[in-house]
Structure 1
Amino acid sequence: MPRTVPRHIPSWITPVATGCVYFVVASLALVMSRFEGGLAFIWAANAFLMAELLTSRTAHWPRAIIACGIASAAATAWVGMGPAAALPMAAINILESLIVAVICRWFVADRLVTGAIRPLVVFVIALCGAANIIAGLCAAWVASTLTSVSFAHSFTQWYTGHVLGGLICAPILIMAFQGEFRRWLDEASTRSRIEAVLLLALFALTTVHVFHWARYPLLFAPLLPLVLIAFRVGHMGSALAIILLAVIGGQATMMGIGPLAWVAEDTGERIQFFQFYLALSFLLCMPVAVELAARKRLFQMLQQSEARYRAMAEYSGDLVLNISADGVIQYASPSATEQIGYAPELLVGQEAANLVDPEDRAVVIAAYRRALAQPGSVHKVEFRPLVLTDGLEWCEMVSRAMIDERGLPSGVVSMIRDMSRHKARQRALQQVAARDSLTGADSRRAFLDKLDREIERAAMGARSSLLLIDIDHFKSVNDRFGHGAGDRVLTAFVERLRTGLRAADAIGRLGGEEFAILLENSDIDRSSIMCERLRALLAEPILVEASVAISITFSAGLVELDGMSDRSAMLEVADKALYRAKHSGRNCLRRAA
């Protein structure tokens, strides 16, 4: 529902007009319904002030309150209990309206009484509760002090008159001030307008019959067309019907005719009973109409949402599935044929898990269950599908639960897209990151990952070794022949060592001229022999230019993986062995102690 924007009061003219209207309404109530010389039995003036406050900005409240306070004091002094009661009664009337307005603004700041059930309930509670209990006690004390009417009777007169007047008039005035009647006329179709006029005419005719022509008390009769109006026309029609009921029934009750003439001979009691009947009629139809209007707006929103969803599902390249709570596909978008090679109608009724590679079904089912358990969140999972389409290797599924009218998850809507190209790019990037760009050896990170896995194997009984290598006097190569020549030496160094390694072995560049070799399924003795073979591969000088050949040697430290130490400990032990090799004349191998 759109937020209701309070009216902007343009100038001082509006507060003056507000005060004049309040004065006229209050004076008429005092003249027509002070049957016992005390408080009025009918009071709609405060409903007018409440509507004014609830539909204007709080910055403009003081002007309306001052104007209506002056008008109340003038009416009380002129046709009410006299000048002595003018100021107290004005303050009490303002207090009642202000309490209702403050409570409504506090609890429903973005809505105005008639917009939904909750604001209407808050208004009713504020009016019938704190506002008129406090104001009624104060007014009863003033009336019992200045007139012969008792405190209890005065409180009853105030409470019934103000509560019933507020219930009946304030919501209708709020709708009028907010322009809802005009908006309804602009938006309603010609057919709807004709239907509304006919139903209101039927209601008016029924009300005239009940209050003027009927020989029996048929107060229930107007309620039938009133409920029909609530269903067919909405809260606008209900408000107009209540106005008709108030005018026709009120005039008959004041004249002493109609079904309420049988209730009591006292005019005040008849007026109170009629107001009670009018309030019950209002409370019967208005909440129903408001709830129906809210449901109509919700239905329109659902239709719009459904249209958007269908447009996205049917024209999107991604596959959209509606999956029930037990995992069965209820809807598949037309892109299913292109994405996974199945016609949509063939997917409906199948278990969604059957589209997933058996190795990935567990993670997909887990993501589906998380979506059902956490309806407000989105869950992603990547999986390999069982496909009929070439080139489809990986998919990404984004899922979110669907909620039923009870707020419980009824299934999942999932969007599936082809991730094969993304995965291929990801693998290519991983391969690039796993290789040293100069030598082609494993990068430091990739080699250390392999070392971690081999340490895990060693913990289960495998025998493997780590060889740490440093090229001897490599700095002098760079200083004498240049860094370009040094780079070519490093590249050739790795190429020659590779020829002496097995397919399962790995060589990685840890930094600069420092390399590491992982010898799988090779104990320290066998690894020592392999190290010497590698040294023999470097016997021939490396040709870096047509007439420039560089001879290099390396020092090495060797350790066998024990399966109990982590990679940092293994590297540290191998590094100590390498350090001893360098201090033993270089171009040699030293085993870890």
Structure 2
Amino acid sequence: MSPQQGIEHVTDKRIRQTLVRMTLIGLAYYAGAWIGVHQTITPEGIAVLWPPNAVLLAAFLVLPFRQWPAVAVAALCAELAADLPSFPLPAALAFGLINLLETSVAAWLIRHFTGGEFSFRHLRNGACFLLFGPLLSSTVAALLGAGVYLALGRADSSYLMLWRLWWFGDALGLLLLTPLFVTLWQRLASRHPLRFSLAGGAELLLLWVATVLIGMLAFVQDTPTQLSFHFSPILLVPLGIWSALRFGVAGATLTVSLIASLAVGHLTRGIYPYPGIEPQDAVWVTQEYLAIVAVLSVGLAILLHEIAQQRLTLIRQDNELKAQNSLLEARIAERTADLEHANQALQQANTQLEKVATTDFLTGFPNRRHFETQAQRELNRLALDQSKAALIMFDLDHFKSINDIHGHEAGDAVLRELVAPVQAALRPSDLFARLGGEEFVILLSHANRQQARHVAERIRDALGALEIVQGTTRIHVSASFGVAQWDGSADLHRLIQQADMALYRAKGSGRNCVMT
């Protein structure tokens, strides 16, 4: 298979996967809409929750942004297919666009504030989902949806009543089902489905059996006088907490969905667990109850998961620290045994380091930093004695040409060879250093300008007579000199500047000369 054919094969495979995925999302959205219309409506016509937006928000949260347009098309087609039997095309299209706006804006905000990759594994992610999904986006979408209902002229309720019905049903669907869909989706995508040990599976089965039994009794309207023990929906809250403690986010979302299905099933059959209140109020109270159970159970599961991850991180870091401590102790014991030898080596290293820090490696003479320290100290001493001094700066003429023509090894050889003739022209008390490159400096204590010029001329003559042999090549050099007289008060940098200016005058005068 050629590279082009391989690319086309991969592209076709991705297109097929996207089409299959969008088809499944559209079917799931349609199924959610059908359930919302036929299975979550009370006999009085009150919608308890709206599932399809949970499917859409879950898809937007887990799929990459480039697939959002395809998700939107699939959801809009499913919305039209579900609504057209009951609503005119403009209304069905408006409902679909409102749902798309709600879920896409919520998903974008959630992913923006959680770093892009979303999962219900961090408390911050759960808080962002709760804020931007059920609380914010559903509220705004309800304002638009209630307006569409009023425009249709089919509603006999006020705008605020329609807004509240839309908001509660939509927000509850997101709150109950989106964590479930996202968690299961990511488990399947990572090829790590839910797995429990035999004991864990038995415990989960016992939990769900208890949930069903208590739910069948708790969501029935009765009074404490009819039974010796009153089954209240509040008894299901510990079961939600149990699922969060033992089975994590996946177990908590499944258990909360089971509790919600029991509550909605009773409501749609006209069975209300709260005696003495109107059906609408009973639905609202149940919706609020389910929201509290979902936030408590799923939020606790997320918190426990985050704590567990932090605990594992701390354990790993502690183990790494213990391993490092053990290694450190072994090294300390080894070093202690060789302490005397190490101290000797350290002293030698310090001596060598001091030499390296103060010496030019090529010529063996002091480097610029050491020269400046020693020279400034010498000028301070001379100032106290009211003595004189002079400074010579010189650099080799056309040194770059030597490097370019004969190579850098030849240039290094030239620098090494000029040390001996320069040193022969100096006194032991004179300070000589390499400033850098081919530039050198000499501080002459107790010397005036004329004496310094004489020394510079001797060095110039010695360098002119110097012949450096590099292989079969013989190299001759010359140098330009600048001399400055110290006035007894200027600091070293000023004195160097004066000598440097004289050096530039020497170069400008044809090189191979001394200028003051």
Shift of 1:168: 0.8
Please state whether the residue corresponding to 2:254 is helix, strand or coil: helix
Q: Which residue of 562, 565, 571 corresponds with 2:488?
A: 562
The answer to whether the aligner puts 1:280 opposite 2:292 as a matched pair is yes
Name the structure 2 match of 1:290. Answer: 302
Contact 1:175–1:181, Cα closer than 8 Å, also in 2: no
The answer to whether the aligner puts 1:427 opposite 2:354 as a matched pair is yes
Q: Which residue of 275, 287, 296 corresponds with 1:262?
A: 275
**Structure 1 unmatched ranges of 5 or more:** 1-6, 320-332, 343-386, 395-418, 471-483, 536-556, 580-591
Q: 1:10 to 1:263 in 2, by over 3 A?
A: farther
Alignment: residue pair count: 436
Q: Which residue of 234, 238, 250 corresponds with 1:236?
A: 250
Give runs of aligned pairs for residues 187-586 of structure 1, distance below 5 A. Answer: 192-211=200-219, 215-257=229-271, 260-262=273-275, 264-266=277-279, 268-315=280-327, 333-339=329-335, 341=336, 389-392=340-343, 423-430=350-357, 432-433=359-360, 436-437=363-364, 446-459=370-383, 463=387, 465-466=389-390, 491=420, 494=423, 501=428, 506=431, 516=442, 518-519=444-445, 562-566=488-492, 568-569=494-495
Shift of 1:103: 2.3
Q: Aligned partners of 2:487, 2:333: CA distance in 1, in Å? A: 53
Q: Which residue of 131, 143, 147 corresponds with 2:149?
A: 143
Name the structure 1 match of 2:9. Answer: none
Q: Which amino acid letter does the alignment assign opposite residue 492 of structure 2?
A: D
Name the structure 1 match of 2:113. Answer: 107
Contact 1:38–1:147, Cα closer than 8 Å, also in 2: no
Q: Aligned partners of 1:308, 1:241: CA distance in 2, in Å? A: 38
Name the structure 1 match of 2:56. Answer: 49
Deviations 1:458-494 (A, max 9, x none): 4555757458699xxxxxxxxxxxxx9xx99973784
Contact 2:126–2:302, Cα closer than 8 Å, also in 1: no
Deviations 1:116-157 (A, max 9, x none): 222222222222344223321222222233314222222221
TM-score (normalised: structure 2)? 0.68
Q: Please state which structure has a larger fraction of its residues in strand.
A: 1
Q: 1:191 to 1:565 in 2, by over 3 A?
A: same
Name the structure 2 match of 1:375. Answer: none
Q: 1:263 to 1:53 in 2, by over 3 A?
A: farther
Contact 1:76–1:86, Cα closer than 8 Å, also in 2: yes
Q: Which amino acid letter does the alignment assign opposite residue 245 of structure 1?
A: I
Please state whether the residue corresponding to 2:17 is helix, strand or coil: coil
Q: Aligned partners of 1:39, 1:466: CA distance in 2, in Å? A: 104
Name the structure 2 match of 1:25. Answer: 32
RMSD: 4.6
**Structure 2 unmatched ranges of 5 or more:** 1-13, 395-412, 459-482, 506-515
Q: Percent identity?
A: 20
Shift of 1:195: 4.6
Q: Aligned partners of 1:299, 1:286: CA distance in 2, in Å? A: 20
Q: 1:435 to 1:116 in 2, by over 3 A?
A: closer
Shift of 1:207: 3.5
Q: Aligned partners of 2:425, 2:184: CA distance in 1, in Å? A: 93
Q: 1:429 to 1:194 in 2, by over 3 A?
A: farther
Q: Which amino acid letter does the alignment assign opposite residue 450 of structure 1?
A: Q
Q: Aligned partners of 1:72, 1:571: CA distance in 2, in Å? A: 85
Q: Aligned partners of 1:216, 1:570: CA distance in 2, in Å? A: 101
Q: Aligned partners of 1:514, 1:68: CA distance in 2, in Å? A: 81
Q: Aligned partners of 1:281, 1:469: CA distance in 2, in Å? A: 87
Contact 1:39–1:154, Cα closer than 8 Å, also in 2: no
Shift of 1:235: 1.2
Shift of 1:44: 0.9
Q: 1:489 to 1:454 in 2, by over 3 A?
A: closer
Shift of 1:75: 2.1
Contact 2:390–2:486, Cα closer than 8 Å, also in 1: yes
Contact 1:99–1:131, Cα closer than 8 Å, also in 2: yes
Deviations 1:222-257 (A, max 9, x none): 212322332232212211210221233332333444
Q: 1:126 to 1:8 in 2, by over 3 A?
A: farther
Contact 1:508–1:516, Cα closer than 8 Å, also in 2: yes
The answer to whether the aligner puts 1:163 opposite 2:171 as a matched pair is yes
* 561-570 vs 167-176, which moves further: 561-570
Q: Which amino acid letter does the alignment assign opposite residue 298 of structure 2?
A: M
Shift of 1:281: 0.3
Q: Aligned partners of 2:423, 2:330: CA distance in 1, in Å? A: 54
Shift of 1:47: 1.1
Q: 1:120 to 1:393 in 2, by over 3 A?
A: farther
Q: Which amino acid letter does the alignment assign opposite residue 278 of structure 1?
A: L
Q: Aligned partners of 2:386, 2:200: CA distance in 1, in Å? A: 86
Q: Which residue of 173, 189, 205 corresponds with 2:181?
A: 173
Shift of 1:280: 0.8
Please state whether the residue corresponding to 1:40 is helix, strand or coil: coil
Q: Aligned partners of 1:252, 1:26: CA distance in 2, in Å? A: 19
Higher relative contact order (CA 8 A, sep 6+): 2
Shift of 1:169: 1.0
TM-score (normalised: structure 1)? 0.61
Please state whether the residue corresponding to 2:342 is helix, strand or coil: coil
Shift of 1:11: 3.8
Q: Aligned partners of 2:94, 2:110: CA distance in 1, in Å? A: 25
Q: Which amino acid letter does the alignment assign opposite residue 159 of structure 1?
A: W
Q: Aligned partners of 1:430, 1:238: CA distance in 2, in Å? A: 67
Q: Aligned partners of 1:93, 1:309: CA distance in 2, in Å? A: 52
Contact 2:391–2:499, Cα closer than 8 Å, also in 1: no
Q: 1:91 to 1:506 in 2, by over 3 A?
A: closer
Q: 1:515 to 1:83 in 2, by over 3 A?
A: closer
Q: 1:263 to 1:505 in 2, by over 3 A?
A: farther
Q: Please state which structure has a larger fraction of its residues in helix.
A: 2
Q: 1:62 to 1:422 in 2, by over 3 A?
A: farther
Shift of 1:271: 3.5
Q: Which amino acid letter does the alignment assign opposite residue 378 of structure 2?
A: E
Shift of 1:18: 2.4
Please state whether the residue corresponding to 1:10 is helix, strand or coil: helix
Q: 1:291 to 1:11 in 2, by over 3 A?
A: same
Contact 1:463–1:561, Cα closer than 8 Å, also in 2: no
